[in-house]
Structure 1
Amino acid sequence: MYSHTSHALDSSLLTESLTEPTTQPGTSSKVSNGTRIGLTFGGLYTENCLAKIWDVASRYITKLPGEYPETVPSDGEQKGQYSTREARFWTCGFFPGSLYSLLERSSRFPKALSLPAHVDTFQLHDQLLMLCREWSAPLHFMATRRDTHDLGFIVLPSLRMDWELTGNRKSLEAVVTAANSLASRFDERVGAVRSWDKMHSKRYDIDDRENNFLVIIDSMCNMDLLFYAGYHSRNQKLIDIATAHAHTVLRTIVREDFSTFHVCNFNPRNGEVQYQQTHQGYSDNSTWSRGQAWAILGFAQTYAWTKDPIFLHAATKLSDYFLKRLSESSHCHPYVPLWDFDAPVEGGQVPPRDTSAAMIAANGFLIMHQMLHGRDGTAYLDAAIRIAEDVVAHSLAPEQATIHIEGDGRIVAHRTGFDSILMNATANKNKYALMPYWDHGLVYADYYFLEFGNRLLRMGLV
């Protein structure tokens, strides 16, 4: 079991200055009552987080309902500005989810907003809710889709929170509809939900559903939708499908050493494994860091719903593998993982990082902390904090945004030179990818960064 010095969190974390010198991993950045407090929390709860999301929401709202923010390039003509993808792309739910993460702070945890004194919290909440509703409205129409396994990513970040924070029954109904749509992709012969209908790169073209049944490790995080809707609608079938899928992924995509493949292709006629490979990682036998992170978060969520010890064991071993690989890193800020743990050093350069993998894993570790009590749970909390500290020190975009109120009462944000909160994410750097892109801001890196902050608040640790 990985472990290092425990952290105790208090309200001073909310006001940690971002201008203090960055410390090297493993050293103390501040001491309060004998406890190390990292620079992390100056990045998690500053005005900058709210202002950047507010700014993008206001500027890009004219692109609705057809386009949603996805990546922020670090160079080129679009440097520092969000590039968008069509609304049906799998990442469309994360930006609305970021807005709802901030809405949750404004209503449940106002101490964590770090607002300027002149900003009225009631005005902010009401205007923020309007932005949330406008950005999430098109997602209701996604709930009937049966052509994607990513419905959990699409609807849960915003529509679940709209139901939980405001009691909007239509949002809950959309979540339940989406779960039933996702369940339609389950095949009893395979014991899994089909992830992709096709898969194309420079080395293969797979689009024959009769002979291929593709399941990816990312799918584990979409099972949360089935569990959530299953219990809300008292539909045991949804719960059983999610549980069966988790068993199949554990048996076929998780390796014996608890590293992970990215993709498993089954024979849909009999459920036998045809082959395992990668689509976004370095190689078929490497460990793509975001895939490992999806596995950690997905199996932690599955254990939280089922309380089946086999899933806790899986989540623990997957987590320990991730942390072992981080601890073996020799580059600066080693807890910001390489985009693939096995990516080679080329030309003396450290391979690109992936802040999205870091923050997805950190969220999983917080669930592990809740599920495990005592010393073991604390070890995962410590690991989550260490990851977030390194992400802030290494990858927080230096351009900081602020907000103010116009004379007519509108809250507006001052633009910065970089739209996302975090930098250094990698969507896909596989050498055969049709559209490789890396070292950029990424909408779900920001979402999981904000969600990490909210989890700490919900757990009463801040």
Structure 2
Amino acid sequence: MRRTLCIAICAMGLFAICSTSWAGTPKWFKNAVKTSNHQLLYMAEQLKEVQNKAYFPRTLKADGSYAMGKAQDWTSGFYPGSLWLAYEMTGDENLAKEARKYTNRLEEIQYYTRNHDVGFMMYCSYGHALRLKPEQKDKEILVNTSNSLCQRFNPEVGLIRSWDFGKWTYPVIIDNMMNLELLFWAYEQTGNSKFRDVAVAHADKTLRNHFRENMSSYHVVSYSVPDGKVESKGTFQGYSDSSAWARGQSWGLYGYTMCYRFTKNLVYLEAARKIAHFIMENRPSEKDYIPYWDYNAPDIPDAPRDASAAAITASALLELGGYVDDHKLGDSYIKYAENILKQLSSSDYLAKKNENKGFILKHSVGNYPGKSDIDVPLNYADYYYLEALNRYSGLKKFN
């Protein structure tokens, strides 16, 4: 088992605080961290002028103004999470102050049961808060959130229900793999096997039904109730039911890598490896690591890129590289992630200071078929970019 990465993972599954000196770090990395730090604080200052009860910046509208989300929006945890991650790398207390302010605005979500993405919303915010600057209530809030998420689990179907809208009887999306991290954490913290049992059941059945032979993933699989049989496989945000939606592939890669972290189940590790190979073998070109929004988009090479999918992939590969016994293979994952980070940190994707309204990355895609958030900055792209930078720093032992 490789340990170069694993030993740097702390109890929350993320990385310990890095020194702010960054001695010996490459120029591109230093610029990425400094730019990110500046952009997040710049955004915090800009948001003081936004008169809106929806507190959380999600993206930019066509007119260049902020598109804000309420606490109940699935993306609400990413801005406070980004602030925490930037604080972790720089030690800038201004970031921590803003992070705590936006994190506390999510407290009510601990009892929210109408969204399967409470893992994104709360673990990406309160999880980092608990790890970096804990307050007495943080752990209880996360455990309460875990109980709320479990209420969306139907034991007859064997899965956590994703959406409460649409034509599907019981829809489950590949994105839902990401919310299992909260449940695994809750099991480790409380010893209550319910949390682990729900997470494992969801991961196992998703692995059986969401993936094609080449380990590309369907976006939405719907099940009948109460027998839990598959009634349809398709997409909502991808190009077609048979295509490989780029961010969906990265959710799957990250999800099964994380599941292996908590369970050490080799089935999950093998799944993550195969998903990684699909992504790596289907990149745009030999030296281009940022996927198009869908691997089967009909207008490639003119299709929009998705920086968010690339950032999630980079973060996942940095972790996966520490888990495989084959050092050469593990190094290939880490090198691929490094190449993603270098490309995202270039002027093609990294915003200049005071531009992009404070968002860090450019050129992501939210929902192309829905004509929503196309070629725009997205808060979750920034979050996973910062997480990947953080993991890269821990791996390289910058000091």
Which residues in structure 2 correspond to 1:330-341 (within 5 Å)?
330=285, 334-341=288-295
1:136 lines up with 2:103 in the alignment: yes
User: 1:457, CA displacement in angstroms?
Assistant: 2.5
| Structure 1, unaligned runs of 5 or more | 1-9, 17-38, 108-123, 200-204, 207-211, 401-414
- Residue aligning to 1:58: 45
User: 1:50, CA displacement in angstroms?
Assistant: 0.7
SS at match of 1:164: helix
Distance 1:459 1:59, change over 3 A: same
- Residue aligning to 2:340: 387
Out of 366, 375, 381, the residue aligned to residue 328 of structure 2 is 375
Q: Is the 8 A contact 1:44 1:450 kept in 2?
A: no
Out of 223, 226, 234, the residue aligned to residue 277 of structure 1 is 234
Output the CA distance in 2 between the equivalents of 1:417 and 1:378.
34
Which residues in structure 2 correspond to 1:72-87 (within 5 Å)?
72-73=60-61, 76-78=62-64, 81-87=65-71
- Residue aligning to 2:189: 232
SS at match of 2:374: strand
Output the CA distance in 2 between the equivalents of 1:382 and 1:13.
18
Out of 434, 441, 457, the residue aligned to residue 377 of structure 2 is 441
Q: Is the 8 A contact 2:54 2:68 kept in 1?
A: no
Output the CA distance in 2 between the equivalents of 1:241 and 1:398.
40
- Residue aligning to 2:10: none
Distance 1:197 1:418, change over 3 A: same
| Residue deviations 1:167-208 (CA, integer Å, cap 9, x gap) | 323111111111111011111111111111113xxxxx45xx
- Residue aligning to 1:104: 88
Higher gyration radius (CA): 1
1:266 lines up with 2:218 in the alignment: no
Which residues in structure 2 correspond to 1:246-257 (within 5 Å)?
246-257=203-214
Out of 259, 280, 287, the residue aligned to residue 244 of structure 2 is 287
TM-score where L is the length of structure 2: 0.89
Amino acid aligned to 2:75: T
- Give the paired residue count: 376
- Residue aligning to 1:67: 55
| Residue deviations 1:274-299 (CA, integer Å, cap 9, x gap) | 00010001000000010000000000
Output the CA distance in 2 between the equivalents of 1:371 and 1:353.
29
Q: Is the 8 A contact 1:152 1:221 kept in 2?
A: yes
User: 1:64, CA displacement in angstroms?
Assistant: 6.9
Output the CA distance in 2 between the equivalents of 1:382 and 1:147.
39
Output the CA distance in 1 between the equivalents of 2:38 and 2:33.
11
| Residue deviations 1:298-349 (CA, integer Å, cap 9, x gap) | 00000110001110010000110011111xx249x62010000000127xx5
Which residues in structure 2 correspond to 1:63-462 (within 5 Å)?
66-73=54-61, 76-78=62-64, 81-107=65-91, 124-125=92-93, 127-199=94-166, 205-206=167-168, 212-326=169-283, 329-330=284-285, 334-345=288-299, 350-373=302-325, 374-393=327-346, 395-400=348-353, 415-416=354-355, 418-430=357-369, 433=370, 435-462=371-398
Amino acid aligned to 1:321: F
- Residue aligning to 1:117: none
Q: Is the 8 A contact 1:355 1:395 kept in 2?
A: no
SS at match of 2:262: helix
User: 1:166, CA displacement in angstroms?
Assistant: 1.9
| Structure 2, unaligned runs of 5 or more | 1-20
Amino acid aligned to 1:50: N
Output the CA distance in 2 between the equivalents of 1:399 and 1:457.
22
- Residue aligning to 2:33: 45
Q: Is the 8 A contact 2:321 2:333 kept in 1?
A: yes
Output the CA distance in 2 between the equivalents of 1:360 and 1:139.
23
Output the CA distance in 2 between the equivalents of 1:455 and 1:417.
25
User: 1:256, CA displacement in angstroms?
Assistant: 1.7
User: 1:367, CA displacement in angstroms?
Assistant: 1.1
Distance 1:458 1:15, change over 3 A: closer
SS at match of 2:376: strand
User: 1:350, CA displacement in angstroms?
Assistant: 1.5
User: 1:436, CA displacement in angstroms?
Assistant: 2.7
Amino acid aligned to 1:440: V
Distance 1:64 1:369, change over 3 A: farther
Q: Is the 8 A contact 2:59 2:373 kept in 1?
A: no
